[in-house]
């Protein structure tokens, strides 16, 4: 299983917002590059650069501001495997032209231009299940069968991407743990995961609030053990990728788990 290391170039992401911002609120590109290089050294297979917070209640960010945040970082990370977390086709086009090699779309192709851009570039694309916006998704976690409905909707998204020209081997599906899902629904999707890995799947559960519900850990910084448990479960279930904040700890945990399985 491959590791996607999270590099948020935002002031307001739920766990690490502001990590690479200067005291005056300006992005510190050198700090972002150093952090990305550190994650690669710790075992990340690619870096996921995000310029828009998708946490519940996050304020919207316009396209100009998103580009202002991500383009300098992508340009400075030449030679590293860089993906960009965006739902906008114009942003995807700009960052791919600047050297990015993959797109992580947490709106699952809502912007048809994004799918066209990905198809033209021939790059990998994560399509994540979601409902609503950061302001409304908490009210939209209504499912009769969360696993069946989420994966049926993802199948429709994948078909739309392929119809737009995205190679089927370039599509990675993400059930959107925590996005328009309650804690119990997120757990149900993870339990169900072994049934769904006939296609490449990415799991992003690092430090999320459902782990706090399960463990009583209110602070995201206290949720590493829970995050590692999910990463090991995802690996055993056959997921292709796991998206994490804590690369070194995740790589170590997966290495030890693999050694135990081999023994």
Task: Determine which one of 88, 208, 223, 251 is catalytic.
Answer: 208
* Residue 23: DSSP 8-state: T
Q: Phi, psi at residue 105, to the nearest 5°?
A: -100, 105
**Do 115 and 166 form a contact (C-beta atoms < 8 A)?**
yes
Q: How far apart are CA 132 and CA 60, in angstroms?
A: 13
Per annotation, catalytic residue among 131, 170, 196, 243: 243
β-pairing verdict for 2-8 and 241-244: parallel
Q: Is 38 a catalytic residue?
A: no
The Cα–Cα gap between 10 and 139 comes to 25
Instruction: Compute the Cα dihedral for 160, 165, 169, 173 and give only its sign.
Output: negative
Q: Are 161 and 188 a contacting pair, CB within 8 Å?
A: no
Question: Catalytic site residue 181?
Answer: no
Catalytic residues: 208, 243
């Amino acid at each position: 299983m491959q590791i996607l290391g999270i590099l948020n170039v935002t002031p307001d992401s739920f766990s690490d917002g502001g990590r690479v911002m200067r005291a005056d609120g300006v992005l510190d590109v050198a700090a972002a590059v150093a952090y990305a290089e550190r994650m690669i050294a710790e075992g990340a297979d690619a870096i996921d650069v995000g310029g828009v917070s998708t946490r519940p209640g996050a304020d919207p960010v316009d396209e100009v501001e998103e580009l202002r945040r991500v383009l300098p970082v992508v340009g400075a990370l030449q030679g590293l495997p860089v993906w960009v977390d965006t739902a906008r086709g114009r942003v995807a086009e700009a960052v791919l032209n600047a050297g990015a090699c993959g797109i992580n779309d947490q709106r699952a192709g809502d912007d048809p231009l994004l799918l066209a851009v990905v198809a033209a570039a021939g790059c990998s694309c994560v399509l994540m299940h979601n409902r609503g916006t950061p302001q409304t998704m908490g009210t939209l976690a209504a499912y009769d069968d969360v696993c069946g409905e989420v994966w049926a909707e993802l199948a429709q998204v994948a078909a739309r991407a392929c119809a737009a020209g995205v190679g089927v081997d370039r599509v990675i599906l993400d059930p959107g743990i925590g996005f328009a899902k309650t804690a119990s629904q997120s757990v149900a999707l993870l339990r169900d995961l072994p049934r769904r890995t006939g296609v490449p799947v990415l799991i992003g559960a690092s430090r999320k609030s459902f782990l706090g519900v399960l463990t009583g850990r209110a602070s995201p910084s206290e949720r590493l053990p829970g995050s590692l448990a999910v990463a090991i479960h995802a690996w055993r279930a056959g997921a292709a990728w796991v998206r994490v904040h804590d690369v070194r700890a995740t790589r170590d945990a997966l290495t030890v788990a693999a050694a135990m399985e081999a023994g």
